[in-house]
């Protein structure tokens, strides 16, 4: 018997992969990309120029009769001050008396809006009260602004109206608001 050598099968013939060049080649960019860089540069230079011009141009004069002028002096300071008081008192009352339901998230939403109305109202009273408001009206407005800000800050840290000190602050603010309502008739 003849000894046969094991038969080797021929390797599978796979097509040869194409040669890939390792030398970087030039990539052509679409034409819009070429002009975008210079256009962006021009736009940014124009924006920088406009910002510089706005920085150094003379400020426009705000009329002295505006409540929102740098030094507010209103033509009718009593009426403007009373409008500010009524606006703030109405906002605080509306936000504190809203009923969104008994759920904790709804109750916290009402409380947050009340705190915001108080803090924002205090700032608004200070800014919107004309500087030439008569003292008998300006003093309680300043007091109310301070009271609202104080109550808001105590509410922010978690105090509630059940706290005796916070209840006292609320009662004092109510008295000041009633006094202002009488002065603004």
Token pair 């209103």 is found at: 74
pLDDT tens digits for 99-137? 888 888 888 888 888 999 999 999 999 999 999 999 999
Question: For residue 70, what pLDDT is reported?
Answer: 44
Size (the chain), residues: 185
In angstroms, rounded to a whole number, what is the distance separating the alpha carbons of residues 48 and 40?
A: 12
Question: For residue 41, what pLDDT is reported?
Answer: 77
Tokens of 30: 């679409």
φ, ψ for residue 133 (rounded to 5)?
A: -70, 135
Token pair 């141009």 is found at: 57
Percent helix, strand and coil across the chain, each to the nearest 5: 60, 0, 40
Question: For residue 81, what pLDDT is reported?
Answer: 93
Question: For residue 72, what pLDDT is reported?
Answer: 54
């Amino acid at each position: 018997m003849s000894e046969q050598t094991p038969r080797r099968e021929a390797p599978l013939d796979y097509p040869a992969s194409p040669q890939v060049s390792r030398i970087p080649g030039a990539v052509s960019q679409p034409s819009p990309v070429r002009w975008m860089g210079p256009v962006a540069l021009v736009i940014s230079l124009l924006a920088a120029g406009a910002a510089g011009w706005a920085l150094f141009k003379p400020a426009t004069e705000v009329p002295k009769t505006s409540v929102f002028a740098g030094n507010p002096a209103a033509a009718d300071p009593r009426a403007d001050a009373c409008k500010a008081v009524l606006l703030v008192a109405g906002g605080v009352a509306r936000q504190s008396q809203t009923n969104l339901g008994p759920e904790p998230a709804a109750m916290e939403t009402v409380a947050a809006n009340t705190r915001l109305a108080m803090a924002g109202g205090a700032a608004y009273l200070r800014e919107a009260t004309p500087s030439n408001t008569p003292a008998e009206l300006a003093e309680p407005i300043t007091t109310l602004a301070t009271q609202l800000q104080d109550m808001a800050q105590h509410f922010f840290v978690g105090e509630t109206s059940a706290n005796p000190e916070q209840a006292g602050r609320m009662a004092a603010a109510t008295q000041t608001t009633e006094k202002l309502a009488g002065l603004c008739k």
